[in-house]
Structure 1
Amino acid sequence: MKKLLLLFLVFLFTFSAQAQQDDNTSTTTYYFIRHAEKDRSDATNHNPQLIKKGKRRARKWKRYFKKIQIDAIYSTNYKRTLGTAFPTSKNKKLPVIAYNPNAIDYDDFKKQTKGQSVLIVGHSNTTPRFVNAIINQEKHEDIDDAINSKLFIVTITNGKITDQVIDLK
């Protein structure tokens, strides 16, 4: 009986330690992009659609992410951001989850998405702000309004955060 109990305890501790190790070694990757080119013909329209060039860029993002594992896609609730996210969303068969950049709890977001690969579509000001919140630094400034091709990649492994910016013109 003692041997059985000892065997059970060894088994329990082994799997408990393995589960804890798996939790500590998970990698979270965030891909942040700004929405593609929008219609600027009406300055009073605060929710414009993408123009043809923007739709092409959205398809280009889809091709970029085609071979990358994406577990979730987040976007602000605007036509231009949703239009940018949609081709990738359709290709990955994932819903686009709307988020409010002015009301998001970044710590909660990190907890909810831990261990996942996540695409986040935002704006020239909200994207770098979101990146800065995730990396816990004020490192990235607003994106120039004429630039729609920057990709911010943030990776968190074992609590170590790395970030990089790629320009995919």
Structure 2
Amino acid sequence: MANFITIFFSLILGVTNPSEEKKTEIQQEPVSTYYLIRHAEKDRSDSSNRNPNLKKEGLERAKKWAEVLKDIDLDAVYSTDYNRTMQTAKPLADLNKLNIIKYDASKLFDENFEKATKGKTVLVVGHSNTTPQFANAILGEKKYEDLDDSENGALLIVQIMEDGTTLSQVIYIN
């Protein structure tokens, strides 16, 4: 009779044995994924040149980005309209058979960009200040500081999930 009373009250009170509880985790697929990189090493031999090309090491890094991200099926490649960013984006755009879309760095993650990239996997090539600012604009918070001027190997990955939550991480490739 004691067992019956214990079971009865357990059922009424909803008491369960913690070891018998099963956790249910709902996993969401990302709706939009952004791979954000700064341009590769630029030629600094002429300090008056506002639009330098990549130097040899920069061209090699651009190829390395293509190798690192070769298994990512990109839907679009965006770059600012500078030689160094376009040259950094080119190997990945070529690999994915995509044209490079030029964007205005002063309009980071605006409504038009958000609409055009929703549900897509996108590479965005920018600068030491615009790359983290772009990530921050997507996240809706200031999480990342400007990159050091010597840092050309940071990959920021930002994902927007179905419910609107965001995830981000930084990976350094050198």
Q: Name 2:130's counterpart in structure 1.
A: 126
What is the Cα deviation at residue 106 of structure 1?
2.0
Match of 1:88 among 88, 92, 102: 92
What is the Cα deviation at residue 134 of structure 1?
0.4
Gaps of 5+ in 2: 1-27
Match of 1:165 among 155, 158, 170: 170
Cα distance in 2, alignment partners of residues 90 and 105 from structure 1: 24
Match of 1:112 among 110, 116, 119: 116
Cα distance in 2, alignment partners of residues 112 and 92 from structure 1: 18
Gaps of 5+ in 1: 1-23
TM-score by length of 2: 0.81
Contact 1:156 1:162 in 2 (8 A): yes
What is the Cα deviation at residue 105 of structure 1?
5.2
Q: Name 1:12's counterpart in structure 2.
A: none
Q: Larger % of helix: which?
A: 1
Contact 1:121 1:127 in 2 (8 A): yes
The question of 1:67 aligning with 2:71 is answered yes
Contact 1:106 1:134 in 2 (8 A): no
Percent pairwise identity: 50
Indicate the structure (1 or 2) with the bigger Cα radius of gyration. 2
Contact 1:75 1:122 in 2 (8 A): yes
Contact 1:48 1:80 in 2 (8 A): yes
Pairs within 5 Å for 1:15-54: 27-54=31-58
Cα distance 1:80–1:94, how it changes in 2: closer, same or farther (>3 A)? same
What is the Cα deviation at residue 65 of structure 1?
1.5
Cα distance in 2, alignment partners of residues 164 and 26 from structure 1: 14
Range 124-133 or range 102-111, more displaced = 102-111
Contact 1:75 1:121 in 2 (8 A): yes
Count of matched residue pairs: 146
What is the Cα deviation at residue 48 of structure 1?
0.2
Residue by residue over 1:12-36, the C-alpha shift from the partner in whole angstroms, topping out at 9 and shown as x without a partner, is xxxxxxxxxxxx9662100000000
Give me the CA root mean square deviation: 1.4
Cα distance in 2, alignment partners of residues 109 and 25 from structure 1: 21
The SS at the match of 1:73 is: strand
What is the Cα deviation at residue 157 of structure 1?
1.1
Structure 2 counterpart of 1:77, one-letter code: D
What is the Cα deviation at residue 149 of structure 1?
0.1
TM-score by length of 1: 0.83
What is the Cα deviation at residue 102 of structure 1?
1.1
